[in-house]
Amino acid sequence: MGNQAEHTEDTPDQAAFRAEARAWLAARAPLKEDGDGWSTRTTHPDVAAEKAHMDRCRAWQRELYDSGWAAIDWPVDHGGQGGERWQRQIFQQEAAQFDVTSGFLAAGIALAGPAIGHFGTDEQKARHLKPMLRGDVVWCQLFSEPGAGSDLANLATRAERDGDEFLVNGQKVWNSSAHLCDWGILLARTDPDAPKHKGITFFLVDMTTPGVDPRPIRTINGSSHFNEVFLSDVRIPAENVVGEVNSGWAVARLVLANESTMIGGGMDRADSAANLIALARRWGTAQDPMVRQELAQAYTKEKLLDWMGRRLQEDVRRGRQPSFDGSTLKVYWSESRRDRGNLGVGILGGYGVAGDHADTGVWANEALNRFWGSIGGGTDEVHRNNMAERVLGLPSEPRVDKHVPWREQVGGNG
């Protein structure tokens, strides 16, 4: 990948900032090359290797913070530089060219940071934001439950007031890297007699608190990135409530919106069109007309994703509202990722799922993970509903339980 993209749309100030960022990165990291660099590695053979990767990501995040690149557009008193969003986006574009990453830390910062920064108290901001940006503390998300995935507001984890604390009991699931995290953002039900969206509270929880039990889930590709987290009589200080008690859904919506934009704005280098073309050449299928047609489609979708991302960036530069809903980007990204994975496996034939060839591991993993993009961060079906209602103005789906107390609903007898 040696050639860095030209950005002819940059203003003189933006071009100067880009050159500064590129020079800083070039002095500290190698350019990415096709293959398995440490920044693109998402699966690990054991917990020790996973922790070592996390520690390396922490070190890079600390270097970003110490040099003023960790949160360019955050307020100065939150640990940022007080800069513009376009500066952050330009830096991220340039950093994507180099074999460096903050890994999962970046997800925690993107989700927990704005929630605390927007809804948190002054004490919460002072305590949590700078350590988060330095990489001293890693954050996870404790939202989904076995009975509350796509319908997150149906969550059943209970938090009952006990003096200056809340006593929390319940179960969360699909919590990325929770077994390696220091703190978590947690949704729990504090008023079961209110409608399901109204009786939820948003908490900050120390993952070392007695009663917090993360248990890694081994997935089909052999990794244990996800967890189920059991909460048994977990005591959370009332000062750890973000926003108002029973009004946590507003905070959660901010987190979910940031999550869909973050996921949709990502591009997996492992299955990029350039790598698919190189794969087809290695395996002698580059002249097959059917393969060539699918390669052209993969290239076209990748370009469309890039242009969609650039359009959002231009909106940011000009201070406009986003041109399209974040759900649009997320769904198009997940569908494109699925199609690229299918093509890679198809090019390899039987070697795509078995054998010891170097390409097998990459594409077998893509086959096994094919549903990650369409389920993680909200299912494609939920995001299509969002687009139908928010973008197209279509009537909302019937919600007969909207004003019904949660306790009276099916499954709400807790």
238-255: pLDDT as tens digits: 999 999 999 999 999 899
Q: What is the mean pLDDT of residues 176-196?
A: 95
Pairing of strands 139-142, 183-189: parallel
Q: For tokens 């002819």, what's the residue? A: 8
Per-residue pLDDT tens digits for 252-288: 989 987 776 666 555 444 457 888 998 999 999 999 9
Is residue 225 a contact partner of residue 240, using CB atoms and an 8 Å limit? no
Q: What is the mean pLDDT of residues 396-410?
A: 79
- Neighbour-count burial of 354, counting CB atoms closer than 10 A to its CB (0-12 exposed, 13-18 middle, 19+ buried): exposed
Give the chain's mean pLDDT: 86
CATH number of 140-252: 1.10.760.10, 2.40.110.10, 1.10.3720.10, 1.10.940.10?
Answer: 2.40.110.10
Residue 408 annotated as catalytic? no
Check residue 412 and give its pLDDT: 46
Hey, where are the domains in the chain?
A: 12-102, 140-252, 265-378
Of residues 259, 294, 302, 366, which has the active-site annotation?
259
Q: For tokens 């001293």, what's the residue? A: 136
Check residue 267 and give its pLDDT: 46
Helix (H) or strand (E) holding 235: strand 226-237
Does the pTM surpass 0.85? The reply is no
pLDDT band at 34 (very low <50, low <70, confident <90, very high): low
Tell which residue, 295, 317, 253, has the closest CA to residue 88. Answer: 317
Per-residue pLDDT tens digits for 364-379: 877 777 777 777 777 8
Q: For tokens 């759900």, what's the residue? A: 327
Residue 116 scores a pLDDT above 90:
yes
pLDDT band at 3 (very low <50, low <70, confident <90, very high): very low
Check residue 307 and give its pLDDT: 83
Check residue 322 and give its pLDDT: 74
Q: What is the mean pLDDT of residues 33-43?
A: 61
Domain 265-378 is found in CATH 1.20.140.10: yes
Is residue 173 a contact partner of residue 230, using CB atoms and an 8 Å limit? no
32 vs 82, more confident: 82
d(CA 21, CA 70): 12
